[in-house]
Structure 1
Amino acid sequence: MRPWWRDAVLYQVYPRSLADADGDGVGDIAGITSRLDHVAALGADGVWLSPFYPSPWADGGYDVADFRDVDPMLGTLADFETMVAAAHERGLRVMIDIVPNHTSQAHPWFQAALASPDAPERDLYVFRRGRGPDGSEPPTNWRSTFGGPAWTRVADGAWYLHVFAPEQPDLNWDHPRVREEFRDILRFWSDRGVDGFRIDVAYALVKDLDPLRDLVLVTGGRFEDIAANPDHPFLDRPEVHEVYRDWNRVLSAYDPPRATVAEVWLPGERRVRYTRPDELDQAFNFEFLLAPWDADAYRQVIASSLAEAAQVGTVPTWVVGNHDVVRKPSLLGLPEGTDPRAWLLADGRDPEPDTELGGARARALALLELSLPGSAYVYQGEELGLPEVADLPAEALEDPRWRGSGHTDKGRDGCRVPLPWTREGSSFGFGSNGSWLPQPSWWGEFSVEAQEADPGSTLHLYREALRLRRSFAADEVLVWDDALNRGPVVAFRRGEVLVVVNTGPDPVRLPRGEVLLASGELDGMVLPGDTAAWLRVT
C-alpha cells in the first residue's frame, strides 16, 4: 500500500496564531478544531501542529516542560483528542512537532539537575566544568543559534550546553534514559491517533564531547559551520542515525506506520541520509525554500532534489515558507540582495518592498511548489497571500533572537501574527479579545472573508490548485519540456499537465492547450512575467 505522505499536502498550524476559541488573545486547540473545515475546504490532506505542550514560551513553545500534555493556555489533552477525532472525520491526517534536542529549564529533569551536582538527572543533560583557573570561562567557544555563548553557568559553577536559548538546555542522547523517554513519547501520541511527527532540529541530537573542542567560527548559518568543521561536535554526527533507526522500529509497529519528516538544514546529499529506508520518511527541503526567484536556481534544486530522494526510495518535500522565515510576498518584492534582517530592523521601510510584484511572484511560486512530485507543506496564511508584518513594535516582540542578538535581529514574530478571518471586528475574527501579537490595521484586506468573495483571490487559487493536483500527484514522474525550459522559464510535464513558470519580466508564448489554472491574468496564450500556468496538452 502506497504511504499517504508521498503526495500529501500538509497545512502547518502555528497553534497560538490560527484561532482563539476562549477569548484570551492566544490561539488554542479548540480554535484549531473550529477551523478544520477551512483546511478541508482548501484541499489539504492534513495538518501539522507546531508545539502545543506545557511551556514557559521562551521560544514559541519549543522549550517543552512536559512532552505528554497540552499547555493550559492552549487547552487540555481532551481538547487535543477531540481535535484529532474531528480532523479524522474530515479525512485530515494529524502531524505534530516533537522536540528531542532539548527541554525547557522548567522540565522536572532540569529542575532536579539544578538542585544538586550529584543528582542523576544532571547526566541527562550536558554539564561541564568551565575553562580557566576558576572555571569562569565557557567550556568551548560554541555559539548559540540565538546569539551569545552556547553555555550558561549555574550556581554551583558548572556550565550547561544550550545550542538554542539558555532556557533550552540540550539533552544528553548518550544516556539510555533519554532514548527510552522519547520512545515512550512517540508511543504516547501515536496511541492518541497522531499520524506523524515533524522532528525539530533532527540533525543536532547526538554530541561528540570527548574531547571538548573549539569550533572554527564563521559568519553565516549552520551550512558554513559544518563546512568549516568537518568533524562537527554537535551537527550531523553519524551516531544520530541510530536514533532514527530505533524510532523507525517504534513507529513501524503501528498500522499504518506513523510518518516522519525531519528538520535538517543540510545540503541535499547529506540531508537524504536521514531518509534511508530504515530511518525517517522525509526531510524538509530548505534548498527550495531558500532559492532565489531565478529559473536556473529552481531547475537545479528540483533536479537534484528528485535525484537525491530517488537514491533512497523517498520523495522530496517542497516548502516555500514556515514559522521561521520572512513571508514570501514580502521577500520576493524586495530588491535582489536585500538582507531580510536589516530590512526588518528598518521596520520594513528601507527598502520599501514592491507588494504587487512580491504577491505575483508568491502566487506563481505556489503553483510551482504544488505541481512538483512529492509532498508539500503550506504554512498557515500562505493561502491568503499574507505579507510579513515587518513593523511590529519592539515591546511586542517575543522571539528570543531579539534579545539574544542584542537587538540586532528582530526575529521571526512578523510571520507569526495571528490570521485574519473577517474583514473587521476584534482581531479580524481571530478571537473575541485581541491577539497576542498586534495585527496591522489593513489585515482585514487579506482575510478569509474578503477572499471568499473574490474569485481571483489567492485563497481561490490555492483551492483550485489543490483540487487539480489530485489528478496527477500520485504520478511521481517529472519530464522537462525541452522547448520551453530555458532562460527565465521553468517548464515540465506531469502526465498530460504542462507546468510553465516565467521568472523573467518579458511575456512568453504558450503552446496550444487548455489552460487549467494561472497565477495571473493571461493575454490569450501569452504568459506574462512573474506568472505561472498549468495547461492540459496532448
Structure 2
Amino acid sequence: MTRTAPPSTDDLTATDTVNSPARGGEWWRDAVIYQVYPRSFADGDGDGIGDLPGVTARLDHLEQLGVDAVWLSPFYRSPQKDAGYDVADYRDIDPLFGTLADFDEMLAAAHERGLKVIVDLVPNHSSDQHVWFQEALAAAPGSAARARYVFRDGRGPAGDEPPNNWQSIFGGPAWTRLAPREDDGPLGPQWYLHLFDSSQPDLDWDNPEVRAEFEDVLRFWLDRGVDGFRVDVAHGMVKAPGLPDWDGTTSMVEGTVAEDGSTGAGNSGPMFDQEGVHDIYRAWHRVLAEYDGDRALVAEAWVEPLSRLARYVRPDEMHQAFNFSFLTTPWDAATLRTVVDVSLRTMDAVGAPTTWVLSNHDVVRHASRFGLPEIGGRQLNGIGADDPQPDAALGLRRARAATLLMLGLPGSAYVYQGEELGLPDHTALPAEVRQDPSFFRTDGAEPGRDGCRVPLPWVGGAPGNGFGPTGKTWLPQPEAYAELAADRQYGVEGSTFELYRTALGLRRAEKIGTSTLAWVDSLASDPDVVAFQVAGVVVLANLGGTPVPLPADAQVLVASGDLVDGALPADTTVWLRA
C-alpha cells in the first residue's frame, strides 16, 4: 500500500465527535492510577516478599512518574492461598506486609505527595480461615452461622452429588463437601460454594448480616483516610435464585470484536451480573457520600456487552469500571476503533468516564501479550515454557504504542506496576516455584498468573535486582529484568519509563482526560491506522506494516518509537500538535 503524506496538519481534521466533555471535577474522572501488587513491588524487611514499608520507600518513583493515585492489591490478614484474595480479617494487615501503623504511614506519605490511595476489597468470598467460616463449620445445618455463606444439601439419594454443576474459575468443581458430623440432615454433610479456590467460600449476599458487615468494613478504611475501593469480582456476589445448572464456561480468552464492542471477555452465567448487585452498590455509594473528598468505587466486572458494564457506573452506583473489552482487543486498527468508540459513547450515556486498562495482576502483561504469534483465542491466563513464546522486541514495541494510544484517550487509565519499565511476563517459570491456585486446580493445564506477578527490578545487576535488602525474591526474575530495571531507565532518553513520564505530563497539561475525542476524517476507515483528535492533540497509531507519512509541519509532542524519514513506522504511536 502506497501512502501520500498530508500536506499539513490542517488536513488532519476531526469532526466525528464521540463523547461529551467530562461532567464535574471529581479526581477519579481523569486520574491515571498505578496498581501496586504489594508482594512484588518492593521488599522493606528482606524476606523476599514486598510489603507496606517497601511501598512507602518507593513512592518517589510514582511521584516522578506522574500518576495521580495508587491502587493496592490486598494486604489484609490472610493464609495467602490466593495471594491475599482469601481474606481472613478485613480490618487488619497481614504480618507479611506489615502493620496498621505501616499502612497509616504509607497512606500519609502518599497523600503528602498528592497521591490518592485506593485499596482492594474482596466481598464475593472470604478465606476459609475467617472467623465466620470457622463458626459455620462448627455450627449445625440451617444455623445463622451457615447462613452467611452459600451452603446447600447435595443432590442424589444420599446427597453425595454437588448441588449444581458449576465449575470453579480456577478449575474443578465449584462445590466442596464438608466432613460428616452427627447433626447432619438426612442427605448427609452439606456442600459449600466457592467460585474460586476451595479455600475461598462464597458469602451469601442475600443475608442482611453480610451486607451490614461490609458497610462497616468500608467505614473502617474510609475513617483511616483511603480515597476509594477497587471491588474484586464486582459482578459476582449475587447468584440467580435456585442456583440453576449452567453448561457455559468462565475462562478469559481473546476473540472477535462485535459491533457492540464485545470481545468475548465477559463472564456470563447465573453466578454473575445479577440484578441484585446494583442494590449493593447503591448502598455503598451512600456510605461513601458520607465522606468528603470524592471517594471512589471501582468495579472489577468482566461484563459484556459494554451496555451491561455501564449499568455499574450509573450516577448512584460505582464511579469507575475497568474496560476489559479494551484490554482484550487484538492488535488491529478497525477493532480498536470499534471498542474505543462504543466504550466512550456507552459510558457517556450514563455520565461516567471510560476506565482504560492494558495489564494487571490477573493477565499476561501487554509487553508479552502483543508479542505472541497471531493465533485465535489467545489465552490471557499465563504463558508456560512449552507454550508459543512472545517476540520480546515486537511485544515491547507494540506495548509502548498501545500505551501511548491509551493515555491519549479521554477518561481514566490504570498502569500496572512495572509496565512503565516495559517488563514482560516471566514465561519460563518452573512448576516447583509456581503458587497460583489455578495452576494446581487444573493440574498444570493453565500456567496461571505467576508470570505477571514477578518482583520488580529496581537496581539492575544487584542481588534480586534491588527488590529488597537481601536479594531474595519470592518468585525468580527473568534475565531480561536486569537491563529493564528502574535505575537503568531514569533520565535515559527513549526509555520506557521516560516515555510514560513524558506522556503523563502531557496528558495532564493538555487536559486530555476530561476532553472530547473526534476521529480524524481522512483516516477514519484506514485499515491500519487509529487516528483521533483530543484536546488539541492528534493521536496517530500505525498498526500496519507500511510507514505512515506525517505532515511536514507536524510538531511531534511524543512518540512511542523513532520516526523514520518523516514517517510513522509500523507498531508506533505519535502525538502531534493539532
The answer to whether the Cα contact below 8 Å between 1:334 and 1:358 also exists between their aligned partners in 2 is yes
**1:307 and 2:345 equivalent?**
yes
Please show how residues 404-415 of structure 1 align to structure 2 within 5 Å: 404-415=441-452
Identify the residue that residue 517 of structure 2 maps to in structure 1: 478
Asked whether the 8 Å contact 2:232–2:299 carries over to 1, the reply is: yes
- Deviation per CA, 1:289-330, whole angstroms, max 9, x where unpaired? 000000011100100000000110011000000001111111
Q: Select which of 114, 121, 137 maps to 1:91.
A: 114
> Aligned to 1:503, which of 543, 551, 559?
543
Question: Which is further off, 448-457 or 185-194?
Answer: 448-457
Match of 1:431 in 2: 468
Q: Which residue of 2 is the match for residue 487 of structure 1?
A: 527
- Residue 521 of structure 1: aligned partner: 562
| Cα pair distance change 1:494/1:101, threshold 3 Å | same
**TM-superposed deviation, 1:234:** 1.8
Distance 1:234 1:183 in 2: 22
Return the TM-score normalized by structure 1. 0.96
**Cα gap change, 1:213 to 1:230, in 2 (>3 Å):** farther
* Cα separation, 2, equivalents of 1:220 and 1:167: 20
Give the aligned partner of residue 155 of structure 2. Answer: 131
Shift of 1:116: 2.1
Q: Is the 8 A contact 2:364 2:383 kept in 1?
A: no
Is 1:150 the counterpart of 2:182 in the alignment?
Answer: no
Aligned equivalents of 2:507, 2:442: Cα separation in 1: 42
Q: Distance in 2 between matches of 1:254 and 1:467?
A: 30
Matched, 1:217 2:248: yes
The one of 289, 297, 301 aligned to 1:252: 289
- In the TM superposition, 1:29-108 aligns within 5 A as 29-108=52-131
Where 1:130 maps in the other structure, the secondary structure is: coil
Q: Which amino acid aligns with 1:444?
A: A
For 2:514 and 2:244, how far apart are their aligned partners in 1? 48
Tell me how far 1:390 sits from its aligned partner: 0.6
Deviation at 1:345, TM superposition (A): 5.9
User: TM-score, length-normalised on structure 2?
Assistant: 0.89
Q: Is the 8 A contact 2:120 2:231 kept in 1?
A: yes
CA distance, structure 2, for counterparts of residue 95 and residue 231 of structure 1: 27
Q: Tell me, which stretches of 5 or more residues in structure 2 are unaligned?
A: 1-23, 181-188, 256-263
Query: What secondary structure is seen at the aligned counterpart in 2 of 1:69?
Result: strand
Q: How far off is 1:525 after superposition?
A: 2.5
Measured in 2, the distance between the counterparts of 1:69 and 1:292 equals 40
Structure 2: how far apart are the matches of 1:300 and 1:473?
Answer: 20
SS in 2 for 1:63: coil
Q: Map 1:102-121 onto structure 2 (within 5 A).
A: 102-118=125-141, 119-121=143-145
CA distance in 1, matches of 2:560, 2:254: 33
Gaps of 5+ in 1: none
Whether 1:195 and 2:193 are equivalent positions in the alignment is: no
Q: What secondary structure is seen at the aligned counterpart in 2 of 1:198? A: strand
User: Over aligned residue pairs, what C-alpha RMSD do you find?
Assistant: 2.0
**Aligned partners of 1:341 and 1:410 also within 8 Å:** no
1:186 aligned residue: 218
Residues 218 and 422 (structure 1), Cα distance of their counterparts in 2 relative to 1, 3 Å cut: closer
Shift of 1:521: 0.4
Shift of 1:454: 2.3
Residue type at the aligned position of 2:497: L
SS for the counterpart of 2:281 is helix
Offset at residue 207 of structure 1 (A): 1.7
Secondary structure class of the residue paired with 1:48 = strand
Amino acid across the alignment from 1:314: A
SS across alignment from 2:78: coil
3-state SS of 2:556 partner: strand
Query: What's the offset of the Cα at 1:82?
Result: 0.5
Equivalent residue, structure 1, for 2:164: 140
Q: In structure 2, how many angstroms separate the alpha carbons of the residues matched to 1:341 and 1:274?
A: 26
> Would you say how many aligned residue pairs link Structure 1 and Structure 2?
532
CA distance in 1, matches of 2:228, 2:95: 23
Structure-1 residue corresponding to 2:309:
271
Q: Assess, with a 3 A threshold, how the Cα gap between structure 1 residues 345 and 304 changes in structure 2: closer, same or farther.
A: closer
> Residue type of the partner of 1:104?
S
AA aligned to 1:164 is: F
Q: Which amino acid aligns with 1:481?
A: V
